[in-house]
Amino acid sequence: MNDTTSLYRRELLKKLAVAGLAHSCGMLGVVQQSLAANLLDIKQGMISVKGEVIVDGKRVRKGSLVKPGQAIKTGKGAEAIYVIGNNAFLQRESSKVHLGTDALTEFMRVVSGRILSVFGSGNKRIRVANATIGIRGTAFHIGVEPERTYFCLCYGEVEVTLPTSGKAPIQMKSAHHDQPVYIPSHGKESTLPAEMLDHHDDELKLLEALVGRLPPFIKI
């Protein structure tokens, strides 16, 4: 780690603390460790648990591990922040996510609700009811609704395949929330324009910090 990066990471810790993001979740110590760590030292599993968070039918708490093949469900008013490998997630209330056992086939399926995710290197496939999203080292927010799925590519590149459209996969690229879209659940429309909803940059900074990274929109 060079001196410039070290300085920025110290400043990021200060900003997270001032914003109350790390303190509010009791995560300042975890963030400090993660920003100084390599991948082998990054804390895994449930970093923060608010309200009722269920994994495979059992209520979990902070520190519980999360494994491939498990299902994570948050109740009303609940929230879970967790780390799997070099990836971090903020799963919001009334949401259900299934973790796959093969990243290339299905790393994660978002069944319902909303989740903000940041990913390290490596090809992965994310599924929702009406689309398959191929990713590699990116970040996005997904919100599953009955008639459509909200998708904001916060940064990075993805390939979105829409089984119902009959069209070729959509290539998307974003530097900083450039093109949020709705993906309709029915019909042959590909995507519809949307606004940035339900997530913000401070959350992305926090998630990236938990896995020892900086968001690419931060210039150092």
| Residues whose CB falls within 8 Å of the CB of residue 178, separated by 6 or more in sequence, listed in order | 153
Q: How many domains does the chain have?
A: 1
pLDDT of residue 190: 81
H-type alpha helices, the chain: 3-19, 21-24, 28-36, 103-106, 201-210
Average pLDDT, integer, range 72-80: 98
Please tell me the distance from the alpha carbon of residue 169 to that of residue 158, in angstroms, as a whole number.
10
Residue given tokens 């591990």 in the structure block? 65
Domain presence at residue 11: no
Domain presence at residue 16: no
pLDDT of residue 17: 55
* Host H or E run for residue 218: none
Helix (H, G, I), strand (E, B) or coil at 65: coil
Ranking 45-49, 79-83, 212-216 by mean pLDDT, the lowest is 212-216
pLDDT of residue 167: 80
The domain containing residue 196 runs over which residues? 43-210
pLDDT of residue 28: 59
Helix (H, G, I), strand (E, B) or coil at 157: strand
Is residue 7 predicted with pLDDT exceeding 80? no
Domain presence at residue 159: yes
Please tell me the distance from the alpha carbon of residue 81 to that of residue 115, in angstroms, as a whole number.
10
Dump pLDDT digits (tens) for 173-208. Answer: 999 999 999 999 876 668 999 999 999 999 999 999
Dump pLDDT digits (tens) for 30-68. Answer: 666 655 555 557 899 999 999 999 999 999 999 999 999
CATH of the domain at 161: 2.60.120.1440
Domain presence at residue 2: no
SS (HEC) of 108-154: EEEEEEEEEEECCCCEEEEEECCEEEEEECCEEEEEECCCEEEEEEE
